[in-house]
Structure 1
Amino acid sequence: MLRRDIPDDVRPAGPPPAGRITIVSASVGAGHDGAADALAVELEAAGFQVDRHDFLDLLPARLGHVLCSAYHRLLTSAPSSYQRIYAATERSGSPGPAVRALLRSAERRILREIGPDSRAVVSTYPLASQALGALRRSGRLGIPALTYLTDFSVHPLWVAPGIDAHLAAHPVPAAQATALDAAAVRVTGPVTGSRFIDVDEAERRATRDRFGLPHDAVLALLVAGSWGVGPVRESAAEIRDSAVVEPVIVCGRNTALVEQLRADGFRYVHEWIGDMPLLMRACDVLVQNAGGLTSLEAFASGLPVASYRCIPGHGQTNAAALDEAGLAVWIRRSEDLTSVLSDLAKGSLGERQRAAGLALFASNPGPAAAISAAALPHPHANRKRKLAVSRGKLVAAALTATLSLGVAAPLAHAYESGSGRLPHLAHSFFERYEL
């Protein structure tokens, strides 16, 4: 069995430190939150108190949840439109004006939620990273802000100016982040729940009784994320027709898909699974279409992974990155499905990928070590921050007094900038120092 303990340089030697780490995730699917859950467990084991926040809740008027629903509808009803949007934002390399305005609307809420004794803030969601980076650049956030890249492919929105460090699970996403000029890119390895572990063949087969699975069949676990999106019925039918493996299908919260698959005659169909670690131990290979956290959990469980019929956007770019890393083969043609599944389940390809996946965890300490190091107290930093804030408040107070004395127009004329510039400057100071 493979277990990754908390590294010695992370585990506190004495009493737990009197400090917090804030994690900002997003309930967009389950991958961002799942990574945040695992990070929180490791950081708490290292002695930190952890505060969790959903970035969607930090946007005004429940706008975050409206956008999440729209994204879900795009993936299910208009995947080609989502592909065009993804490609356009990938080419632009930065948020557009509407997205920037949306992010600014969350900045004050983020600052309010970060406690005064927080030592670092971590993002597991790209838009949260953009907001945190802006706060760091403006000086309003005085503690380190780090991004943990939950995807194996790095979309430009993951890379935010102002973020202190970008933590990657593997050299492939690290290289992509570096090419996008990300700051302080580090390969830390992945993070998953501690119950995702490798087991031997006897234990793997013993778990099948819990799910009513056959002992004598080679089982392919087919997953489609917490939303159950993508051409899952087509994939399931092709896997069954391959006659190499028996599909075990997890549909997430897509109850309509569950009913359709059962009507199609599939025997092993599940909705949301509360004990995914155990189900992974029961199967021989994993087939996925998004390349997110579930792939990392499969690597930790000793399962070889195939990407097949991937969803647009990040599903396809993640599949390409995983294939490049030698961790999950990307089956691009249906006629290759049978031979690849056979090689993964019984051949040398499966052995190589299984070894590569387990090595990913054995050779890296995980992102919690880097986060803990960034959160160590720096006594002079707090003093400098307080001094900067005090000076800023003095300047803002002087501006307020000037305006109240009615001399804004003469000063504006002296600066040759029009009568609106000085009030705008004062407003900027009020925003920055929350006067």
Structure 2
Amino acid sequence: MSTRRVLILSAGMGAGHDRVAGELARRLTTMGIDAEVTDVLDLLPLRSGHGMRRGYGWTVRHAPWLYAGIYRVFFASPRAPAISPLTALVAARLEDLVRRRAPSALISTFHVAAQAAGHLRAHGRLPVPSLVMVTDFAVHGLWLHPGNDGHLCLTPAAVREVRAATGRPAWCHAPVVRPEFRRLRAAPALAPGGRPRVLVTAGSWGVGRVEETTRVLSDSGRYLPVVLCGENRRLRRSLNRTGGCVALGWREDVPELMAASYAVIDNASGLTCEEAVAAGVPVICYRPIPGHGLAGARAMARAGVGVHARDGAELLVALDRLRSPLERGRRLKRAGALFERRPVEDLLRCLLP
């Protein structure tokens, strides 16, 4: 009997897309499916994928206004081009990869991959089904190539948007997070002096207005910020010099850190927010990075997954309200509805050939 083989297309833009792809591969493997994860940026010639990754990181750190403009024109505008030269380059090499690997299906967890696979499928150059796992709460245009056979989404609102834009099937599923986050339910710990520990996250690259967030929390005297700086050593050194917080580098014990936190403050509106919800910790989006971060924060607030605090005063009010067990329970119940939906692997049992 032939083994089903699925090619999962991700991208090392931060860590979120890869973590989703890795967990999806693990789940498919337990189902007896041979799952392989490929970084589509590695398909670009002359190491240009590496340059694209570095360019994106530099822009988000040092010129967020530029990234906001790029997102508005190329991601969110209805007049954005349907396909870019980048997509065409990836598609040509993806076609060759599919020919060599002979998968029974593709699943994209990154929008460039979704564009490339959809382009191939629409032109009869991809002989196997192509599914797109939309890892963002906000669905921008580059996720929506109608050549793909269907989309897997985090919320009913995203499902409706995808169906309206593509005319193709879309399904809602529970977030794809590692089981450790579900096993370690929140047991908030107090810092010396009785202050609740608030976990401040800024992605693997440690980007955004993290120092401002830390200062708001520290100056209030009511909360101790514990900051995940990721790979940003400069940010960690700066916070350590300033004081008033606990600044951490890259960590493997994030589930344990979340479980001991009063709340999570995030600025990217991505997988970290889903992990916090899985751990039973309230999420507040504050000073989100431009583009997908801001769009995601608004979409999360509309879905009841988290609170979008627009300034320091709103941030502290949102945190203070969590001291009420009734309010805390209400927020957690509404956000936890994400995980009452069908697990993605159950959907894929029916969708994969």
TM-score (norm 2): 0.94
2:319 to 336, 341, 347: 341
Amino acid at match of 1:34: R
> How far apart are the structure 2 equivalents of 1:47 and 1:142?
22
Partner of 2:44: 59
> How far apart are the structure 1 equivalents of 2:214 and 2:177?
26
Matched, 1:174 2:159: yes
> How far apart are the structure 2 equivalents of 1:367 and 1:29?
23
> How far apart are the structure 2 equivalents of 1:257 and 1:102?
32
Partner of 1:397: none
Partner of 2:348: 371
> Contact 1:148–1:367 (CA<8 Å) still a contact in 2?
no
> How far apart are the structure 2 equivalents of 1:133 and 1:87?
22
Deviation at 1:216, TM superposition (A): 4.2
Matched, 1:132 2:117: yes
For 1:29-428, what aligned pairs fall within 5 Å after superposition?
29-93=14-78, 96=81, 100-114=84-98, 117-181=102-166, 183-197=168-182, 199=184, 205=189, 214=192, 216-361=194-339, 363-376=340-353
What is the percentage of aligned positions where both structures have the same residue?
Answer: 34
Q: Which moved more, 1:172-181 or 1:331-340?
A: 172-181
Runs of 4 or more off by more than 3 Å in structure 1?
Answer: 90-97, 198-201, 213-217, 345-349
Amino acid at match of 1:103: T
Higher radius of gyration, 1 or 2: 1
Deviation at 1:347, TM superposition (A): 4.5
- SS of the counterpart of 1:260? helix
Q: Could you report, residue by residue, the CA deviation over 1:378-406 in whole angstroms, capped at 9, with x for unpaired residues?
A: xxxxxxxxxxxxxxxxxxxxxxxxxxxxx
- SS of the counterpart of 1:342? helix
- SS of the counterpart of 1:108? helix
Q: Which moved more, 1:350-359 or 1:319-328?
A: 350-359
- SS of the counterpart of 1:53? strand
- SS of the counterpart of 1:166? strand
Structure 2 CA distance for partners of 1:25 and 1:345, relative to 1, 3 Å: farther
Partner of 1:23: 8
> Contact 1:144–1:374 (CA<8 Å) still a contact in 2?
no
Instruction: Name the Cα RMSD after superposition.
Output: 2.1
Amino acid at match of 1:254: N
Structure 2 alignment gaps of length 5 or more:
none
Deviation at 1:157, TM superposition (A): 0.6
Q: Could you report, residue by residue, the CA deviation over 1:337-392 in whole angstroms, capped at 9, with x for unpaired residues?
A: 2221111344433222211232311x22222222332223xxxxxxxxxxxxxxxx
> How far apart are the structure 1 equivalents of 2:76 and 2:283?
29
Structure 2 CA distance for partners of 1:346 and 1:249, relative to 1, 3 Å: farther
Deviation at 1:204, TM superposition (A): 5.1
Aligned residues: 352
Structure 1 alignment gaps of length 5 or more:
1-15, 377-435
Structure 2 CA distance for partners of 1:192 and 1:40, relative to 1, 3 Å: same
Deviation at 1:182, TM superposition (A): 5.3
> How far apart are the structure 2 equivalents of 1:153 and 1:192?
18
> Contact 1:17–1:48 (CA<8 Å) still a contact in 2?
no
